[in-house]
Structure 1
Amino acid sequence: MPTMTKQLRDIIADIDLTLIQGSLDLPITNITDDSRQVTPGSLFIVRSWVHDGASIIGNPSGYARSFIQDAVLLGAIAIIDVHDQDIPTYDSHLTEPIGRPAIPSSITLLTTPPNTKIDQAFVGQLADNFFDHPASKLKLLGITGTNGKTTTAFITQHLLQSFNHKTGLIGTVHIDTGSGIQPTELTTPGSIELHRILAQMVDNNCTHAIMEVSSHALHQRRTHNLQFDAAIFTNLSGDHLDFHPDMNSYAAAKAILFESLSDNAWAIINADDTFARRMAQSCTAKQLLTTTNPDFQTAPHTHHQVCHVNITSLSIDGSSARYTGPWGSTSARLPLIGRHNALNAIQALAALHVLNLPGKTKPRQIRRALESTPGIPGRLEQVFINPSQYDLAALEFNPAHLALDPFTAQPEDPTELPTELPYPTVLVDYSHTDDSLENALLAVRPLALGRVITVFGCGGDRDKTKRPRMASVASEYSDIVVITSDNPRTEDPIAIIEDVIPGIPIPQLSPKAPIEDRIQAFTSETAIGEGGGIIEPDRAKAIHKAILLANPEDVVLIAGKGHETYQILRTQDVTDPDLLKTATPAPKGTVKIHFDDREYAKNALKNWATRFYDSAPE
């Protein structure tokens, strides 16, 4: 985007600040709360939080204040800090002086009123002014919920663009500003970056923007200064309880999005979810309720409208359903696997209806748009190997290869030469909660001609309560479970697995049996296919083992990381020295290595062919 320049006086015009020194007549070319991003001409904001918006222990702004001198050296010409009385003499956490350092007289210094926290909402107001209120120039849709945000966002973007609305996207997989794709690390960026991205969308002639809004972002008020035209609630299930004290607090954070909507905005709420009422109760916006229940009706005195989805068939290629709402009724085949994706689609259609100007959304156009929906990266994404790489005439089935793995079932007629090269169906999915894992397994279980083999792990330094629940779901819907690592971060991968194992029912053992006994029973040869499986902390090896266990008619679900192309773990847990050579530092002494489930799955499928056939590609 073009270089922004705005007078400091205009940036702070509607914000209560006191000028301590310097001038307000300064041309500001950049605004940041991160000293590493300071450039000459910057306004540097001394924030009152560290690391993902968490409050600073014992000190409202001490950590950030230590970076003022760095900001000055890098070219900051103005600084905003908290009031002097809010600067403690000592930081009770660091037990060292943290007062404001001397600031050259040539640098403008502004301070807040007493007892005013420089939080994401405060910073967002400055950013909104600096970037000239970009959100007001876009039709803005926010999507929140535990699961389904990304898929719903992608479907909605596709639908809007099918109706000739250039639409930007901010989400878990990437950022699309209308002129190209950018990588992202947070589902919802910080408030300054949010406004910067929205300004880029405006510059690129976008008319609409879709944003995944996380509970962290809502709790930390990153979106406080944004006025949404519509918001979607997908669902709520156990996750992020390392951040939120309990489910009620988690729900309250999600509800902030709907409480912030104006009377003229639209709330699109999944009425089938237990927490739907919580999202609706404090919301004064107009409401569209989505449901799979054909008998669902709203109370007579309300003005809520209802959108129904009636799913008629499911297959490995997608689902067929009738979608009914204020736009009319249309049947379409959605090329995304699973019942849950049809639910995502009805919410996307509701968003299309309210953002495309009601009355202009025609059923025939809807059908064409739905049926051309592209696949979503890392969401039940199938991994393929190219059959053209194989000389089928030269292949001969070799049953001896099956003997290499005692757990692989013998085919009825292994001597028959295949007319095509069959191989297991391998799906990579981002499901990292028990609810999303259940949705994924419910989608693939009825479609598997053979067994379902599930590979999953649980993230380190994250909600520990979901670990046994995920194990229980995997065990219930899978024939073989392979427990591995996800992003262990600072935790010992083995310790995480030991938290997972208690969720797997082992009938012959007491629930209070020692973890060593449970692991032994789970991994015994007799347990394979009977609720047991494999423990392999090395994720690459786990994927390889799972795929080599499979027969052509089996489905292998690799859950947890989806679109991610990295793994975060301790240095000592990296088993491949080559990966360490290209690793980058990550928080708390961990490293980030390149890791893509899809790449490892593709390589494993090629190796699988050599186990079942005499020939394989080079």
Structure 2
Amino acid sequence: MKLLKDILYGVSLAAVSGDTNVMVNHLHFDSRKVEMDDVFVAIKGLITDGHKYIQTAINQGAKAIVCEKLPEILVNGVTYLEVDNGNKALAIMASNFYENPSKNLKLVGVTGTNGKTTVSSLLYSLFKKAGYKVGLISTIKIMVDEKEYPTTHTTPDVMTINWHLHLMNQEGVEFCFMEVSSHGIHQKRAEGLHFEGAIFTNLSHDHLDYHKTFAEYRDTKKELFDGLSRTAFALTNFDDKNGMVMLQNTKARKYTYALKSFADYRAQILENQINGQLLKIDDNELWSKLIGDFNAYNLLAIYATADILGLEKLEILRLISELENVDGRFQYFISKEKITAIVDYAHTPDALKNVLITINALRTGNENVITVVGCGGDRDKSKRPVMGHIASEMSNQAIFTSDNPRTESPEVIIEEMEAGVEPQNIKKILAIENRKQAIKTACKLASANDIILVAGKGHENYQETNGKRIDFDDFKEVKAALNSLNK
């Protein structure tokens, strides 16, 4: 058990009713999990308001309630604490509850529209190869050194984050690399964490269903850098027009990286092939299995971060040359018919464009590019026609299909994608709602040396429709479809 007032350290309290000098068991923001002598934090969410479940939590034995508005009737023996922001209070309390685990390791946050998963995952791999005990909190998984835990959000809830950081402390983890999404920042999930540094990859059209305006989306990302201490570092992509915005108010040590501009860390692409690229970093050449300009930026961010954190430069370059593609990030397979299939998480206009630019740059002349792509339901609708335009303009054949339709009609989503297709490209598109069938069709249309891009879901091993998830893995599906052509 822990003393309530210790868990509340650093929380700004507007009102207190009851005793804070009491022992409590656990901390919850889900009333269904509350047990005897627990603390319940009422959070105002997008779907429901935790304040509606305060009495339920008390009935289940809650000893303390943290809320943004005190109930009209206060129960004797229960401590009530009023705060301005429940999310922020929960984050600080979660960190205190697990004894501020982020202070006992070097936590580096990675934010940006694209590249977060690749940069954080490959930093984890690089530091593991360098012999360190390392942690990872990413879209794909959470790693506590060698042990893997599943995850469902880019930035998990604050209790999950601090619990795993606590486990990392127990395992002697020295470095942890964490994806930090705009949703996570806005919902204060990064609050109360001590960051050794932060990395900005890039900023483009995404999540405007949540943030409403691009400026709000950008400024939310910027909050991560605004909160850094003087001893931390801030690393930004200088080639991105919003890169320097991230550094405007930060107290941290500032570093930049770029391919096209003068920066603290620079790289040059010397050669690009389907199986990798030759890069020049710090006047040293290295071969990487990761291809494309976007991966050159990712690798440069990794190199810069490792250098800032004290690894030896030549050793970093050697380790980078050993790094493999992250699952669902330009993950490719070449069939016996010499058809190349690429699976990529590209689910934003900018990411899709970057992948197709890379693919088209690899073409030697006669290969066709066939793109299978959809757009997620219950998400930013404004990017759908843009995605449709890019796929049809930059491919020889585009097949519009389902992504994760969620509660929306797949047909309507596809129609909204088709709205972005220009008249001269209409003959290049097919609409096949069933994603499995769309992938099979792409494989049947392909000939030797053609390239199939299956975009949007990447590492995801499910498809979500009307609240149900069915098993579905793009890479397995396209590989099976191509192998079946042999029979």
The answer to whether the superposition gives a TM-score over 0.5 is yes
Q: CA deviation at 1:456?
A: 0.2
Distance (Å, rounded) in 2 between the aligned partners of 1:162 and 1:548: 41
Corresponding position of 1:45: 41
Q: What is the percent sequence identity of the aligned residues?
A: 35
Distance (Å, rounded) in 2 between the aligned partners of 1:82 and 1:241: 27
Please list the CA deviations of residues 265-310 of structure 1 after superposition, one character each: whole Å capped at 9, or x if unmatched: 21111111111121122223222111112xx34xxxxxxx610011
Distance (Å, rounded) in 2 between the aligned partners of 1:553 and 1:15: 60
2:405 alignment partner, SS class: coil
Distance (Å, rounded) in 2 between the aligned partners of 1:160 and 1:14: 33
Where does structure 2 lack aligned partners over 5 or more consecutive residues? none
Matched, 1:361 2:296: no
Corresponding position of 1:166: 133
Corresponding position of 1:280: 247
Please list the CA deviations of residues 28-77 of structure 1 after superposition, one character each: whole Å capped at 9, or x if unmatched: 332111123334442211223344xxxx7xxxxxx313323443454433
User: Are the structure 2 counterparts of residues 447 and 187 from structure 1 closer, same or farther at C-alpha, using a change threshold of 3 Å?
Assistant: same
Q: CA deviation at 1:463?
A: 0.9
1:76 alignment partner, SS class: coil
User: Are the structure 2 counterparts of residues 289 and 82 from structure 1 closer, same or farther at C-alpha, using a change threshold of 3 Å?
Assistant: closer
Q: CA deviation at 1:238?
A: 0.7
Distance (Å, rounded) in 1 between the aligned partners of 2:19 and 2:248: 48
Matched, 1:505 2:422: yes
CA contact 2:68–2:86 (8 Å) conserved in 1: no
Distance (Å, rounded) in 2 between the aligned partners of 1:593 and 1:76: 37
Corresponding position of 1:390: none
Alignment of 1:573-584 (within 5 A): none
User: Are the structure 2 counterparts of residues 82 and 270 from structure 1 closer, same or farther at C-alpha, using a change threshold of 3 Å?
Assistant: closer
Distance (Å, rounded) in 2 between the aligned partners of 1:14 and 1:151: 34
Distance (Å, rounded) in 2 between the aligned partners of 1:330 and 1:156: 20
Corresponding position of 1:323: 281
2:470 alignment partner, SS class: strand
Distance (Å, rounded) in 2 between the aligned partners of 1:73 and 1:426: 56
CA contact 2:9–2:93 (8 Å) conserved in 1: no
Query: Where does structure 1 differ by over 6 angstroms across 4 or more consecutive aligned residues?
Result: none
Corresponding position of 2:108: 141
Distance (Å, rounded) in 1 between the aligned partners of 2:355 and 2:10: 48
Matched, 1:434 2:322: no
Q: CA deviation at 1:337?
A: 2.4
Residue identity in the other structure for 2:79: L
Q: CA deviation at 1:383?
A: 3.7
Please list the CA deviations of residues 572-609 of structure 1 after superposition, one character each: whole Å capped at 9, or x if unmatched: xxxxxxxxxxxxxx3xxxx2222111222122112222
CA contact 1:448–1:554 (8 Å) conserved in 2: no
1:110 alignment partner, SS class: strand
Corresponding position of 2:429: 533
Alignment of 1:210-359 (within 5 A): 210-293=177-260, 296-297=261-262, 306-324=264-282, 329-355=283-309, 357=310
Alignment of 1:99-118 (within 5 A): 103=75, 105=76, 107-112=77-82, 116-118=83-85
Distance (Å, rounded) in 2 between the aligned partners of 1:169 and 1:428: 23
Distance (Å, rounded) in 1 between the aligned partners of 2:230 and 2:88: 22
Distance (Å, rounded) in 1 between the aligned partners of 2:136 and 2:411: 37
Q: CA deviation at 1:25?
A: 2.6
Matched, 1:547 2:438: no
Please list the CA deviations of residues 205-243 of structure 1 after superposition, one character each: whole Å capped at 9, or x if unmatched: 111111111111112222121221111111111111111
2:94 alignment partner, SS class: helix
Residue identity in the other structure for 2:234: A
Residue identity in the other structure for 2:437: K
1:465 alignment partner, SS class: helix
User: Are the structure 2 counterparts of residues 9 and 263 from structure 1 closer, same or farther at C-alpha, using a change threshold of 3 Å?
Assistant: closer
Distance (Å, rounded) in 2 between the aligned partners of 1:185 and 1:42: 25
1:35 corresponds to which of 31, 38, 44: 31
Corresponding position of 2:17: 20
Please list the CA deviations of residues 311-363 of structure 1 after superposition, one character each: whole Å capped at 9, or x if unmatched: 11111111110112xxxx432111112221111000011111112x2xx4131
1:193 corresponds to which of 137, 160, 165: 160
Residue identity in the other structure for 1:319: Q
Distance (Å, rounded) in 1 between the aligned partners of 2:61 and 2:477: 45
CA contact 2:454–2:474 (8 Å) conserved in 1: yes
2:67 corresponds to which of 81, 91, 99: 81
Q: TM-score, normalised by structure 2?
A: 0.94
2:231 alignment partner, SS class: coil
Distance (Å, rounded) in 1 between the aligned partners of 2:200 and 2:400: 31
Q: CA deviation at 1:138?
A: 1.1
Please list the CA deviations of residues 167-215 of structure 1 after superposition, one character each: whole Å capped at 9, or x if unmatched: 1111111111224111211101122222122112111211111111111
CA contact 2:353–2:390 (8 Å) conserved in 1: yes
1:65 alignment partner, SS class: helix
Corresponding position of 1:422: 337
CA contact 2:111–2:199 (8 Å) conserved in 1: yes
Please list the CA deviations of residues 69-117 of structure 1 after superposition, one character each: whole Å capped at 9, or x if unmatched: 4434544333323443xx5xxxxxxxxxxx66x74x4x532222xxx33
Please list the CA deviations of residues 457-507 of structure 1 after superposition, one character each: whole Å capped at 9, or x if unmatched: 011111111111111211222111000111111111111111111211113
Corresponding position of 1:181: 148
Relative to structure 2, which stretch is displaced further, 261-270 or 17-26?
Answer: 17-26
Larger Rg belongs to: 1
1:375 alignment partner, SS class: coil
User: Are the structure 2 counterparts of residues 369 and 39 from structure 1 closer, same or farther at C-alpha, using a change threshold of 3 Å?
Assistant: farther
CA contact 1:457–1:483 (8 Å) conserved in 2: yes
Residue identity in the other structure for 2:294: H
Q: CA deviation at 1:23?
A: 6.6
1:465 corresponds to which of 382, 387, 392: 382
Distance (Å, rounded) in 2 between the aligned partners of 1:599 and 1:536: 19
RMSD across aligned positions (CA)? 2.0
Distance (Å, rounded) in 2 between the aligned partners of 1:244 and 1:83: 25
Q: TM-score, normalised by structure 1?
A: 0.75
